């Protein structure tokens, strides 16, 4: 019963903050909605027993990419003017895409794998040593892409700081 309530909590958290991302008119609020969504998904990963991947997600996405988003939003000029402009065609297109994705998810959930309770599947907890070995052998490309992403976030933040210091 506890697992079901935790699943419901983290799923509602991820979906609720995802709605904030989509419906927010201000960029700043959408960025915080993104952080909440990523934390909710990390909570689901912990619930599935994959704590290492959850920790990596929080470290890379919430710790690196989100901080870069937030920093770039804060250093832009006229932050109070930063909001999303919505017109009728973009609302129609987003509604059609949302219905299509919901349909795909409903079809996928009707398969036999998804009909069983999710907590009946046991996932082995992968250790950090196994992830490190995998990243440096079979998944070296993914490891390098993550390294380049974090390096780009660091360089972009330095460039933004230098522009602010010059002016």
Highest-pLDDT range among 2-6, 48-52, 130-134: 2-6
* Mean of pLDDT values over 132-143: 76
Q: How far apart are CA 44 and CA 38, in angstroms?
A: 10
Residue 150's pLDDT band, with cuts at 50, 70 and 90, is: confident
Residue 69's pLDDT band, with cuts at 50, 70 and 90, is: confident
Q: How far apart are CA 127 and CA 135, in angstroms?
A: 12
Asked if pLDDT for residue 50 goes beyond 90, the answer is no
Q: How far apart are CA 131 and CA 53, in angstroms?
A: 9
Burial 121-154 (b: 16+ CB within 10 A, else e): eeeeeeeeeebeeebeeeeeeeeeeeeeebeebe
| Residues forming a β-bridge with 110 | none
pTM for the structure as a whole: 0.60
Q: How far apart are CA 142 and CA 149, in angstroms?
A: 10
pLDDT given for residue 57 in this prediction: 81
Supply the angle between the helices 27-48 and 66-75 in degrees, to the nearest 10.
170
Q: How far apart are CA 32 and CA 20, in angstroms?
A: 8
Catalogue all structural domains in the chain, each as residue range(s) with its CATH number: 2-166 (1.20.120.1200)
Q: How far apart are CA 48 and CA 11, in angstroms?
A: 12
Q: How far apart are CA 149 and CA 143, in angstroms?
A: 10
Asked if pLDDT for residue 41 goes beyond 60, the answer is yes
78/144: higher pLDDT: 144
Each as own residue / partner, the long-range contacts of residues 113-121 (CB below 8 Å, 24 or more positions apart, any chain) are 118/7, 118/48, 119/3, 119/4, 119/7, 119/47
């Amino acid at each position: 019963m506890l697992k079901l309530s935790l699943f419901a909590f983290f799923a509602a958290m991820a979906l609720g903050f995802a709605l904030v991302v989509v419906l927010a008119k201000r960029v700043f609020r959408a960025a915080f909605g993104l952080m909440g969504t990523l934390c909710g998904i990390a909570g689901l990963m912990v619930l599935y027993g994959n704590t290492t991947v959850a920790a990596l997600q929080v470290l890379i996405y919430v710790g690196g990419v989100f901080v870069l988003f937030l920093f770039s939003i804060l250093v832009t000029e006229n932050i109070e003017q930063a909001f999303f402009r919505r017109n009728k065609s973009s609302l129609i297109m987003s509604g059609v895409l949302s219905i299509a994705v919901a349909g795909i998810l409903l079809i996928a959930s009707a398969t036999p794998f998804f009909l069983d309770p999710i907590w009946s599947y046991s996932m082995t907890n992968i250790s950090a040593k196994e992830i490190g070995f995998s990243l440096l052998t079979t998944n070296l490309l993914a490891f390098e892409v993550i390294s380049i992403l974090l390096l780009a976030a660091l360089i972009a933040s330095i460039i933004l700081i230098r522009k602010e210091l010059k002016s």
